Amino acid sequence: MTLESTTGGASAAVDAAPLFTPYAMGDLELVNRFVMAPMTRQFSPGGVPGADVAAYYARRAPHVGLIVTEGTYVDHPSAGSSDRVPRFYGDDALAGWRGVTQAVHAAGGKIVPQLWHLGATRAAGAPPHPDAPVLSPSGRRADGSVVGEPATTAELDAVVASFARAARDAQLAGFDGVELHGAHGYLLDQFLWSGTNGRGDRHGGSAANRARLGAEVVAAVRASVGPDFPVLFRFSQWKGGAFDARIAETPGELEQILTPLVEAGVTGLHVSTRRYWLPGFEESALTLAGWTKKVTGLPVVAIGSVGVAQAFRGEHEEPASTLSIAPLLELFERGEFDLVALGRALLSEPAWPTKVREGRLAEIRPYDKDDESRLI
């Protein structure tokens, strides 16, 4: 199986077959190496995913090995800022999620929810709990603006318990695992990054201490779901509005951050970058996903502008020089990642992997951020 792709004006045949081999993540058997990435849609009025949400995921299920849902709020009152983003608590929302898992499984797919707490990015007074305070490591956003008092130990314990309850509910609702959102400047990531974590207690300071809350969440989730249920942790260097932010300046610091998560029982790591092919650190060609694989040995999901011409939120930046998947295949064959996540490419073209596998590239609908029909 080969496909033609263009790189710098020259055509080259690329064998995409390796990305269509099965993969086992613990007891979870995936039919190929493609993952649907989480993408916020706000199509769940009242926080309840309906039949249209189930159909949206089921439409993509036959084409990917795994689906990660859009971010869904845990039951901590400070977790969210919209009454149209799905929540992961309450009988009505959990019934909706059971409908989603049933639809995806009927289509032959596997699915995990992404469990989410916004932290300091939440606007005070926002739904679904407008009276809840904004929770953050140090009472400040990345830009230095004050959002409240630093979270107390008791408040952090409540957050940990919220993630654990959501994970158990996911298991009971028929999901195939869970993903914890520790990326992009949200609560768990706010603790990982020194730019938003100025605490002087055991949750701040060293890289290992900054990872402590994430590790506590992983450990509590693991205790709630048992030893075999897959638990992914998504992390990133970049944040919304701070693309040059870094939680780790060196591979050694990255290892200090990831080791507590590994020891707490995480199954795999979802490494969110804006351009998957770029080196993670200076003086090495390894990508951030490659370094993650090297220092942990765990299953790694890579992501970052696969199948689209522009980096995420990169409207004012130069487009990628090529849509070729040749670099992706090269990195995969070097062992830098095990799975690859697709975001916007799957919004516009639900069958993207299948059309690549079958060489039907001319039929692939390109991503257009202004085309609302991509959301169905």
Q: Concatenate the DSSP letters of all residues of 244-260 into one string.
A: T--S-SSHHHHHHHHHH
197-248 pLDDT tens trace? 999 999 999 999 999 999 999 999 999 999 999 999 999 999 988 999 999 9
Percent of the chain with pLDDT over 90: 83
Average model confidence (pLDDT) for the chain?
Answer: 92
Considering only residues 266 and 314, tell me which one the structure prediction assigns the higher pLDDT. 266
Q: Which of 250, 301, 252 is nearest to 279 (CA)?
A: 250
The Cα-based distances of 278 to 24, 292, 303 in angstroms read 27, 14, 11
Please tell me the pTM assigned to this model. 0.94
64-121 pLDDT tens trace? 999 999 999 999 999 999 999 999 999 999 999 999 999 999 999 999 999 999 999 9
Told to judge if 367 belongs to the known catalytic residues of this protein, a careful annotator would answer no
pLDDT class of 9 with cuts at 50, 70, 90: very low
Long-range contacts made by residues 118-122, C-beta under 8 angstroms, separation at least 24?
118/78, 118/79, 118/80, 118/81, 118/186, 118/187, 119/78, 119/186, 119/187, 119/188, 119/189, 119/190, 120/147, 120/187, 120/190, 120/196, 121/81, 121/185, 121/186, 121/240, 122/78, 122/79, 122/80, 122/81
Q: What is the CA radius of gyration of the chain?
A: 20
Asked whether 309 and 324 are in contact (CB, 8 A), the reply is: no
CA atoms of 252 and 246, how far apart (whole Å): 13
Domain of residue 80, residue span: 2-375
- Which CATH number covers residue 23? 3.20.20.70
Q: Which of 302, 286, 297 is nearest to 261 (CA)?
A: 297
- What's residue 312's pLDDT? 66
128 preceded by cis ω (within 30°)?
yes
If DSSP codes are grouped into helix, strand and coil, which group holds residue 237?
strand
31-59 pLDDT tens trace? 999 999 999 999 999 999 999 999 999 99
Domain count, the chain: 1
* Marked catalytic residue, from 56, 73, 186, 276: 186
